[in-house]
Amino acid sequence: MADAQLTVLGSAIRPGDTILRYPTATVAAVEPYRADLKVTRTFRMANGAWYAVDRTAEYKIVRPAPSRVLVIGPASTADELRDLSAYCWDAADQSGRTAVVATDTDHDVTAYAAVYAAPGWMDDWTALVLGTEAWGAGVPLVEQPTWDDVSRCTGCRLPLTVGTVDGAPNLCGPCAGTHCSWCGTDEDRALPYSSDEGATWDMFCRPCARQDRRETKRLRAVKVAKAA
Ligand SMILES: [Zn+2]
Ligand SMILES: [Zn+2]
């Protein structure tokens, strides 16, 4: 999917969008509705600027094609959550994209390239809501195939156990050309890496994963030293 030029209401603008009347930077964060500003939302841009945007007016924007995928499934117990995070690891590895575990319905499914549904997803309320939204919005909903139906990567023959997006080439992430989501390199084999205890799996090259682990350790040490 390519970047799209759209006309949307101010209330539908989200991080990552470029507002064509303020083209110098993309929207970095959307601040909560402020009652004192009545009909506006405020936006912080990537270059530090602020804009007030009318929620009811139309804006021309450029919205980048979604690159992340969402993973839905049972997540109400610690065991289920661990399994879902493992499924999310597979989804990241096999799609070559950042994969996010959905533990609540607070996700705009249209911000994702696909929604991967783990087994048993229809028995989970949150997953059912998000799966239905994906289906309604035309976002590919990818269910786990039965073992007999598992397709293999046409490059390396790796079984694509989490399923494949209809119409897309059957290539695993590495064969499709995985880039490190941090430094952008495609020289090293990027692997799913989580810096938030398995809630999100990013594709990181080894040097970036090592660097992040060192940084996390350092921050933890600083926190402990401060607390003492
Ligand atoms: Zn492959
Ligand atoms: Zn990297």
Of all residues in the chain, what percent are helix, strand and coil, respectively (each to 5)? 30, 25, 45
Distance, CA 149 to ligand 2 centroid (Å)? 34
State residue 11's pLDDT score: 81
Query: Ligand 2 centroid to 49 CA: how many Å?
Result: 29
Residue 7 has a pLDDT of 93
pTM here is: 0.78
Q: Ligand 1 is a single-atom ion; what residues have CB below 5 A from it?
A: 153, 155-156, 158, 172, 175
Over the stretch 103-138, which tens digit does the pLDDT of each residue have? 999 999 999 999 999 999 999 999 999 999 999 999
Alpha helix locations (H) across the chain?
78-95, 125-137, 173-176, 206-227
pLDDT reported for residue 181: 82
CA of 209 from ligand 2 middle (Å) equals 7
Cα-based distances in Å from 69 to 60, 140, 207, 218: 25, 10, 24, 30
Instruction: Give SS3 for 29.
Output: strand
Burial class of residue 176, CB neighbours in 10 A (0-12, 13-18, 19+): middle
Rounded distance from Cα 188 to ligand 1 centre (Å): 15
Give the Cα separation of 108 and 16 in Å (integer): 13
Predicted confidence (pLDDT) per residue in 191-210, tens digit: 899 988 899 999 998 898 99
Beta carbons within 10 angstroms of residue 188's beta carbon? 15
Query: Any idea what the Cα angle at residue 206 is, between residues 205 and 209, rounded to 5°?
Result: 90
Centre of ligand 2 to C-alpha 215, Å, is 14
Ion ligand 2: residues, CB within 5 A, are 180, 182-183, 205, 208
CA of 40 from ligand 1 middle (Å) equals 47
pLDDT tens sequence for the chain (228 residues): 568 899 998 888 888 889 998 877 888 887 766 656 555 677 788 888 888 888 888 999 998 888 899 999 999 999 999 999 999 999 999 998 999 999 999 999 999 999 999 999 999 999 999 999 999 999 999 999 999 999 999 999 999 999 999 888 888 888 887 788 888 887 777 889 998 889 999 999 889 899 888 888 787 777 777 776
Residue 50 token pair = 């602020």
Q: Which ligand is nearest to the CA of 169?
A: 1
Residue 60's identity, in one-letter code, is K
